[in-house]
Amino acid sequence: MDIVSSKRNLRGSITVPGSKSHTIRALLLAALADGTSHIFNPLPSADCLSASRAIPLIGAGFHSADSVWTVSGAGCRAHLPDDVVDVGNSGSLLYFLSPIAATFPGWSVFTGDESIRKRPVSHVIDALRQLGCEAYVSRPDTDAPPLIIRGPLSKRKVITDGSLSQYVSGMMMAASRLDGMLDITLTNPKETPYLAMTRLWLEELGVEVSVSDDFKRICVKGCVTLPHFDKTIPSDWEALAFPLVASLISDSEIIINNIDDSGSQGDDAIVNVLESVGADIERDRIRHTLTVRGGKYARSVKGEAPGRLSTEKLPRGELRVPISGFPDAICALAVAASFIEGTTIIEDVGVCRKKETDRVEVMKSELTKLGVEIEAEADCLVIHGHAPLSASGEKNDAFAIHGGMVETYGDHRAAMALSCFGFGLPEGEAVTVKNAECSAVSFPDFIDAMNGIGAGFGISAAS
């Protein structure tokens, strides 16, 4: 399915779905818990549904009804996965569940779709071997699943890179099943907000967790019988980035509802980033909403055109964004930067190269097709953006963005970001986003939700 996107002005309110990161953690911890847990406002995306199909393999029960997921925890009856674990497209599920499976005696096998069978697992293998497991890939010349593990974990200390956080979170969750203290040393921690999220979950369930200020030392004390719980999943800041950016690059005014103000999701940093270049974003922590105004509806800065985003008042006239703490925002930020007057440098992008795709190269390739001046370097993405208007409100002759046809490469975040790009195009231009149905991986109702506020996405069969 292809999406055709063009200049639009968005109006009204939108509610983004529940957090994928929280939903998958909730499913796995509920599966290990003793008793019946209820998960409200779960994200019914492809990745989370893969997790819901995986937890029965370790002895848990799962039922879905009326936006409530019920998990009958396996507790002390939890066991080795009794079949091959197919994680679908979910790297989170792969990296979370494989260390948990390694706490059981016997062999576990993990595989997934074509994308997963290209995702690196050498870091997982090395960590599990340090902890006394056998771990291999089935294809000797490929650092990717199928992943084969033989447990149980017999050692309690591991030193690992940690620049990818998910397998570290997996070890933290697995530690709740182990006797004694699991001592994790990270030499290069990057996605630290996600580790903080895992810590919060474990501590709420009675697990003792110690984390150093620099996240280079994490200690988790087991063995703990996890209690059952009822939990409402907060809205997903990773998904929220797309209507947020879409509104800022167009003449739009929207309200985004059900904002997560807990601070448990690192992706909320995108608000401060965009406000630093003049974005009109109003956060109401009582109503848990964001009001976003773009273009002519933005509150103007004195002496400047309303809605114009610019790096001019930043140090050296550049917007620098260290992205390692919220790497899933890179696609949305790259689109936003295309419409910001000045240079945006998205730094520390190594983690972004190891997601569903190499998102650094994907955004460089596809935005170049649409007239964006963009460069990819070893550890940064550089966008030389232009606002449609000059500071005085006149047409900006340097603004040369245009429509075209772009690929998603099966990456849900690239699909949503490129679909939103069209709203900032000149009149008469359009962008066709091929195979955009992959947006369902993390935002199942993306097309309908955006059309509900005026996106006007045209839909056609994939060509």
Q: Is residue 163 part of a domain?
A: yes
User: Once rounded to an integer, what is the mean pLDDT over residues 21-28?
Assistant: 96
Q: Lowest mean pLDDT of 227-236, 259-268, 382-391, 441-450, name the range.
A: 259-268
User: Once rounded to an integer, what is the mean pLDDT over residues 320-339?
Assistant: 95
Select from 160, 195, 221 the last residue of a domain: 221
Please say if the pLDDT value at position 369 is more than 80.
Answer: yes
Given the residues 328, 379, 445, 448, the one annotated as active site:
328
Instruction: Clarify whether residues 267 and 202 are in a common domain.
Output: no
Q: Is residue 364 part of a domain?
A: yes
User: Once rounded to an integer, what is the mean pLDDT over residues 403-427?
Assistant: 96
Q: How far apart are CA 212 and CA 437, in angstroms?
A: 41
For position 66, what pLDDT does the model report? 79
Alpha carbon dihedral 338, 344, 348, 349, in 10-degree steps, equals 10
Instruction: Clarify whether residues 267 and 161 are in a common domain.
Output: no
Select from 197, 221, 245 the last residue of a domain: 221
Two tokens, residue 109? 């096998």
Nearest to 102 by CA among 188, 192, 175, 190: 175
Q: Is residue 230 part of a domain?
A: no
Angle of helix 91-101 relative to helix 122-130, nearest 10 degrees, comes to 20
DSSP assignments along 113-180, one per residue: STTGGGS--HHHHHHHHHTT-EEEESSTT-SSSSEEEEE-----EEEE--SS-HHHHHHHHHHTTSSE
For position 156, what pLDDT does the model report? 97
For position 223, what pLDDT does the model report? 93
For position 301, what pLDDT does the model report? 63
Contact 165, 191 (CB under 8 A): yes
Residue in the block written with tokens 């679908």: 88
Select from 188, 221, 254 the last residue of a domain: 221
Higher confidence at residue 355 or residue 329?
329
Residue 75 belongs to domain with CATH number? 3.65.10.10
Higher confidence at residue 371 or residue 462?
371
Helices (H) and strands (E) counted in the chain, each on its own, are: 12, 24
Please say if the pLDDT value at position 138 is more than 70.
Answer: yes
From the centroid of its chain, how far is CA 188?
A: 20
Over residues 256-310, the pLDDT tens digits come to 998 888 877 888 899 999 999 999 999 999 999 999 999 999 986 655 777 899 9
Q: How many domains does the chain have?
A: 2
Question: Sorting pLDDT into bands at 50, 70 and 90, what band is 59?
Answer: very high
Domain of 62 in residue numbering reads as 20-221
Angle of helix 122-130 relative to helix 166-175, nearest 10 degrees, comes to 30
How much helix, strand and coil, in percent to the nearest 5, is found in the chain?
35, 25, 40
Question: Sorting pLDDT into bands at 50, 70 and 90, what band is 24?
Answer: very high
For position 17, what pLDDT does the model report? 86
Q: Is residue 227 part of a domain?
A: no
Q: Is the dihedral of CA 393, 394, 399, 400 positive or negative?
A: positive
For position 459, what pLDDT does the model report? 84
Nearest to 362 by CA among 387, 341, 334, 402: 334
Instruction: Clarify whether residues 165 and 298 are in a common domain.
Output: no
Instruction: Clarify whether residues 367 and 424 are in a common domain.
Output: yes
Residues 6+ apart with CB under 8 A from 100: 28, 32, 58, 170, 173, 174, 177
Instruction: Clarify whether residues 257 and 132 are in a common domain.
Output: no
Nearest to 269 by CA among 207, 213, 193, 198: 193
Instruction: Clarify whether residues 214 and 340 are in a common domain.
Output: no
Instruction: Clarify whether residues 375 and 288 are in a common domain.
Output: yes
Percent of the chain with pLDDT over 70: 98
Over residues 432-455, the pLDDT tens digits come to 999 999 998 889 899 999 999 999
Instruction: Clarify whether residues 354 and 325 are in a common domain.
Output: yes
Burial class of residue 286 in the structure, from the number of CB atoms within 10 Å of its CB (0-12 exposed, 13-18 middle, 19+ buried): exposed
Please say if the pLDDT value at position 460 is more than 70.
Answer: yes
User: Once rounded to an integer, what is the mean pLDDT over residues 85-103?
Assistant: 97
For position 463, what pLDDT does the model report? 60
The amino acid that residue 258 corresponds to is: N
Instruction: Clarify whether residues 9 and 74 are in a common domain.
Output: no
Q: Strand locations in 167-276, DSSP E?
A: 180-186, 208-211, 217-222, 230-232, 253-257
Two tokens, residue 31? 């599966």
Nearest to 449 by CA among 43, 25, 88, 68: 43
Q: Is residue 414 part of a domain?
A: yes
Contact 286, 261 (CB under 8 A): no
Please say if the pLDDT value at position 34 is more than 90.
Answer: yes
Q: How far apart are CA 145 and CA 361, in angstroms?
A: 23
Does 397 qualify as catalytic in the annotation? no
Residues recorded for the chain: 463
CA atoms within 13 A on the CB side of 141: 0
For position 236, what pLDDT does the model report? 87
User: Once rounded to an integer, what is the mean pLDDT over residues 409-421?
Assistant: 95
Q: How far apart are CA 238 and CA 445, in angstroms?
A: 14
Over residues 99-125, the pLDDT tens digits come to 999 999 999 999 999 989 999 999 999
Two tokens, residue 386? 């232009």
Average pLDDT, the chain: 94
Instruction: Clarify whether residues 145 and 273 are in a common domain.
Output: no
User: Once rounded to an integer, what is the mean pLDDT over residues 220-243?
Assistant: 93
Nearest to 86 by CA among 57, 120, 43: 57
Please say if the pLDDT value at position 58 is more than 90.
Answer: yes
Please say if the pLDDT value at position 356 is more than 80.
Answer: yes
Instruction: Clarify whether residues 216 and 359 are in a common domain.
Output: no
pTM, two decimal places: 0.82
Instruction: Clarify whether residues 72 and 83 are in a common domain.
Output: yes
Q: Is residue 226 part of a domain?
A: no
Give ∠ CA 327-157-201 in degrees, rounded to 5.
Answer: 50
Q: Is residue 6 part of a domain?
A: yes
Over residues 145-168, the pLDDT tens digits come to 999 999 999 999 999 999 999 999
Nearest to 246 by CA among 425, 407, 460: 425
Q: Is residue 228 part of a domain?
A: no
Percent of the chain with pLDDT over 90: 83
Please say if the pLDDT value at position 318 is more than 90.
Answer: yes
For position 263, what pLDDT does the model report? 77
